[in-house]
């Protein structure tokens, strides 16, 4: 039988070959794929989009990933760490505005002082918001002890992108030392699962040397790992990184956005009950990128709440949008766009991964 979108979508199990076919669809085929992602999302979960207020806590990083603007060896940025008061104030903004959930993200640091500061912040936020604000961490690879310390202090979701699921490509993207191994990344994901977190991962799309077969493997990886949440988006070049040298090898911005939306739609089809983020990188390459991702299957958005004075120093890639926007402006603009598309915002709802709930039989609450 000839492969068509409809034939593939009728299958109970969509295999890697099918995924590659879907990733290579032309405009008309893509529209059918996006419509199917949309139908599955709306049938299962309605048209709700959940906000996670993003706090870019510190740009100090002890790693040197070849693609990332805040890598340790880039001395263009002034290094900062937000004060406890600033974090608490930002968390309060999220709570007061009914976000129900925040993400604390940072460059990777592994000192005892760092883990203690995060623990203290988690406890303070928990007390100040009466356990109503749920906290996701995105603080890189840590020891099992640290993951437990933060979990016991009130964090219950963790985002750690595998970046690429192909170990050979992973090795090309990172320095070849002990601090940057694919196996350590994988082990960290397993430790997070073991600790009890709702585990999120993700990949960059349109990297130099990456193939459509790699991207199909990435989607199979999410399914095989039985992941609860995914945040993925286009790779965007940054001139102060070693990968700038390969900028001629990457697909056009339009193709990276198209691939990213296809990845979202296929993932929604093969893992209907997970949380999928419409990422800022999609919006960076296309002003409508996030809305397209939401249409095709994404159900989470992370509005940036980082105090504006720090934003210029947390530039992972070129042309990051809204760096001057105050949280209120960002929130109102997102609200307008989401409502205009016919979706609603899950204000006051944690929006936990239903996949996690279905696997564990309940949501673990911290209060």
Which residues are near ligand SF4 by CB under 6 A?
61, 63, 65, 68, 70-71, 107-108, 140
Structure tokens at 118: 């995060």
| Least distance to ligand SF4, CB of residue 36, Å | 32
Sequential DSSP letters for 191-203? HHHHHT-EEEE-B
> Considering beta carbons, is residue 236 or 271 the nearer one to ligand SAM?
236
Residues 309-338 binding ligand SAM (CB under 6 A) are 316-317
Residues 72-101 binding ligand SAM (CB under 6 A) are none
Site for ligand SAM contains 157 (CB under 6 A): no
From the list ligand SF4, ligand SAM, none, pick the one residue 227 interacts with, judged by a Cβ distance below 5 to 8 Å according to partner type.
none
Sequential DSSP letters for 147-178? HHHHHHTTEEEEE---B-S-HHHHHHHS-SSG
Which residues have a Cβ under 8 Å from the Cβ of 76 and sit 6 or more positions away?
A: 240
The length of the chain is 367
From the list ligand SAM, ligand SF4, none, pick the one residue 236 interacts with, judged by a Cβ distance below 5 to 8 Å according to partner type.
ligand SAM
Site for ligand SAM contains 284 (CB under 6 A): no
> Considering beta carbons, is residue 71 or 157 the nearer one to ligand SF4?
71
Site for ligand SAM contains 160 (CB under 6 A): yes
The answer to whether residues 103 and 136 touch, using CB atoms and an 8 Å cutoff, is yes
From the list ligand SF4, ligand SAM, none, pick the one residue 281 interacts with, judged by a Cβ distance below 5 to 8 Å according to partner type.
ligand SAM
Q: In 43-87, where do the E strands start and end?
A: 48-51, 53-58
Cα(256)–Cα(250) distance, integer angstroms: 8
From the list ligand SAM, ligand SF4, none, pick the one residue 235 interacts with, judged by a Cβ distance below 5 to 8 Å according to partner type.
ligand SAM
Cα(289)–Cα(279) distance, integer angstroms: 8
With CB under 6 A as the rule, give the number of residues binding ligand SAM: 17
**DSSP code at position 81:** B
> CA gyration radius for the chain?
19
Site for ligand SAM contains 161 (CB under 6 A): yes
Site for ligand SAM contains 204 (CB under 6 A): yes
| Least distance to ligand SAM, CB of residue 40, Å | 26
Which residues have a Cβ under 8 Å from the Cβ of 204 and sit 6 or more positions away?
A: 67, 161, 163, 164, 232, 233, 234, 235
Site for ligand SAM contains 107 (CB under 6 A): yes
Strand-strand pairing, 300-301 and 275-278:
parallel
| Least distance to ligand SF4, CB of residue 65, Å | 3
Longest dimension (CA), the chain: 62
Dihedral angle computed from the Cα positions of residues 43, 266, 330 and 281, in that order, rounded to the nearest 10 degrees: 180
Contact with ligand SAM (CB under 6 A) among 68, 91, 122, 261: 68
- Catalog residues that contact ligand SAM under the rule CB under 6 A: 67-68, 105, 107-108, 138, 140, 160-161, 163, 204, 235-236, 238, 281, 316-317
């Amino acid at each position: 039988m000839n492969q068509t979108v409809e034939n593939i979508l009728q299958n109970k199990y969509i295999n890697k070959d099918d995924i590659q076919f879907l990733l290579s669809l032309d405009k008309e085929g893509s529209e059918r794929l996006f419509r199917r992602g949309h139908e599955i999302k709306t049938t299962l979960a309605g048209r709700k989009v959940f906000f996670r207020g993003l706090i870019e806590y510190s740009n100090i990083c002890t790693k040197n990933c070849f693609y990332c603007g805040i890598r340790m060896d880039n001395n263009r940025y002034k290094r900062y760490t937000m004060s406890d008061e600033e974090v608490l104030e930002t968390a309060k903004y999220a709570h007061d505005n009914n976000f129900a959930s925040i993400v604390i993200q940072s460059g990777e640091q592994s000192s005892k002082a760092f883990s203690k500061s995060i623990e203290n912040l988690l406890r303070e936020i928990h007390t100040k918001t009466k356990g109503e604000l749920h906290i996701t961490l995105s603080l890189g690879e840590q020891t099992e002890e640290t993951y437990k310390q933060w979990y016991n202090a009130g964090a219950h979701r963790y985002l750690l992108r595998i970046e690429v699921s192909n170990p050979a490509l992973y090795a090309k993207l990172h320095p070849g030392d002990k601090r940057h191994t694919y196996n350590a990344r994988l082990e960290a994901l397993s430790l997070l699962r073991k600790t009890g977190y709702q585990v999120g991962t993700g990949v960059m799309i349109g990297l130099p040397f990456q193939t459509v077969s790699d991207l199909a493997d990435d989607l199979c990886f999410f399914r095989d790992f039985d992941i609860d949440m995914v945040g993925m988006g286009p790779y965007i070049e940054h001139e102060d990184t070693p990968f700038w040298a390969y900028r001629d090898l990457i697909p056009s911005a339009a193709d990276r956005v198209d691939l990213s939306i296809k990845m979202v739609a296929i993932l929604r089809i093969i893992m209907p009950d997970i949380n999928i983020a419409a990422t800022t990188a999609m919006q960076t390459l296309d002003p409508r990128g996030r809305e397209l991702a939401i249409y095709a299957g994404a159900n989470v958005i992370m509005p940036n709440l980082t105090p504006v004075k720090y934003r210029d120093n947390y530039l992972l890639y070129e042309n990051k949008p809204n760096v001057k926007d105050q949280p209120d402006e960002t929130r109102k603009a997102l609200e307008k766009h989401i409502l205009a598309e016919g979706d609603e915002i899950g204000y006051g709802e944690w929006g936990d991964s239903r996949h996690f709930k279905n696997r564990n039989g309940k949501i673990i609450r911290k209060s």
